[in-house]
Amino acid sequence: MKNEYHFHINGNPEKIREVLNLLDGTIQTLTSKDGDIQITWKPSANANPFEKITKILQAGNLDDGILLLDLFLSDNPTDEDVLFNLGMAVSDSGELTRAIDLLSQLVKQAPAHTNGRIALGVALVRSQKTEAGLKELEIAVSQEPDNLWARRNLGGGLMQAERFSEAIEHLRRATELDSTDQAAWVGYGQALQFNGDITQADKAFITAIELDEFSELAERARVARTQLAEKTFHGASDMPRMDAVMYCVSALEKFEKLSLEQVRQIGFEIALLATRGLDTNNPAAKYTLKNMGGNFSGLQLVCYEFVAFKQFAPEQNIGFDLSAEYEAALKLFGKNNK
């Protein structure tokens, strides 16, 4: 770590003072003329300014983190750590052209900088330069086959290129490298889904949800599971599923004896249960409800939820289309009540 840094940047001197005060150190000199600022800055003893900048970026303060990194880049334009961190930060902020320039400079002067090459690949893929990005990510994997970040991002890039069978290989390896990486499991599930392997895709999504059921990634996995269930539910047929029709009839019969508020409570309880995933392909009656006695299968509960919402919120989409089954059930229910 240097004892003294010399910064040269265009900007607002008051803003520069403000961001430098976020670090442990002292401004020795600061001169400003027409926006051209020159600064001598000295870090405090044993202080590591880059650790503080990393925390600033991790806290989501990209603007201040980028400005600080720009200052340190002006002191040493070839510093590999600064090029890497600044390149990633501006990529995350959406400045993809600048990110590509910074990270290209980094890998040109340090070809073995695998993480820099991964970041470059990600920036290229983000800017829709998919083939160029995949090339960088493939080099990164060849340099470090057990680099989780390389495998996961190469898998994601291959997904963007609709090369799903290749993506599966790298995303599966990512889950092997870190079985707790929720993003890898979701990506692996999506690759399997798009490649047509519904059973294994569902297993991957279940694993992702179990890792952290309250995360945004878990929500994506639940939505994907619902899509899988709906796709396999009807298969190639346009005809209503008679088992679901009869479950809908049963729901209509039960709800006829209840108040609208009771139906609402049942609907919301099932909806909450569904956020954790309902197995609509397993006929076992393994679910229970607080607001209604009995044991229920996953498909039965989805049917009950659909019918319940039709009664108190008919415009609401529960994420599982049972319109044909519901219409058939209404006809049967009407006949039975004549």
pTM (two decimals) = 0.80
Question: Is 184:148 a contact under the CB 8 Å cutoff?
Answer: yes
| pLDDT for position 169 | 97
Please, which pLDDT band fits residue 177 given cuts at 50, 70 and 90?
very high
Instruction: Specify the CATH number for the domain of residue 30.
Output: 3.30.70
Structural Rg of the chain based on CA atoms: 28
Res. 236: pLDDT tops 60: no
Res. 174: pLDDT tops 80: yes
Q: Which domain holds residue 1?
A: 1-73
Which of 55, 73, 91 is a domain's end point? 73
Phi-psi region of 144 (alpha: psi -120 to 50; beta: other; left: phi over 0): beta
Residue from 297, 280, 287, 284 nearest 232 by CA: 280
Is 184 a member of any domain?
Answer: no
Is 237 a member of any domain?
Answer: no
Res. 235: pLDDT tops 80: no
Is 189 a member of any domain?
Answer: no
| pLDDT for position 281 | 78
Is 247 a member of any domain?
Answer: yes
DSSP H helices, 161-294, are 164-177, 182-194, 198-211, 216-234, 242-256, 260-274
Lowest model confidence (mean pLDDT) among 54-58, 175-179, 273-277, 283-287: 273-277
SS3 (DSSP) at 44: coil
Res. 320: pLDDT tops 90: no
Q: Kindly report, residue by residue over 184-195, the tens digit of the pLDDT.
A: 999 999 999 999
d(CA 130, CA 123): 9
| pLDDT for position 225 | 86
Lowest model confidence (mean pLDDT) among 162-166, 180-184, 221-225: 221-225
Task: Give me 157's structure tokens.
Answer: 């890039």
Is 3 a member of any domain?
Answer: yes
Is 187 a member of any domain?
Answer: no
| pLDDT for position 336 | 61
Give me the number of domains the chain comprises: 2
Greatest Cα pair distance in the chain? 93
- Strands of the sheet containing 36-43, edge to edge, are 5-10, 36-43, 25-33
Question: Is 49:43 a contact under the CB 8 Å cutoff?
Answer: yes
Buried b (16+ CB within 10 A) or exposed e, 285-316: eebebeebeeebbbbbbbbbbbbbbbbeeeee
Residue from 301, 306, 313, 312 nearest 330 by CA: 306
Which of 23, 48, 73 is a domain's end point? 73
Please, which pLDDT band fits residue 208 given cuts at 50, 70 and 90?
very high
Q: What are phi and psi of 268, to 5 degrees?
A: -70, -35
Is 117 a member of any domain?
Answer: no
Q: What are phi and psi of 294, to 5 degrees?
A: 115, 175
Which of 37, 54, 73 is a domain's end point? 73
- Averaged pLDDT of the chain: 93
Question: Is 66:51 a contact under the CB 8 Å cutoff?
Answer: no
Is 326 a member of any domain?
Answer: yes
Question: Is 13:29 a contact under the CB 8 Å cutoff?
Answer: no
d(CA 216, CA 302): 23
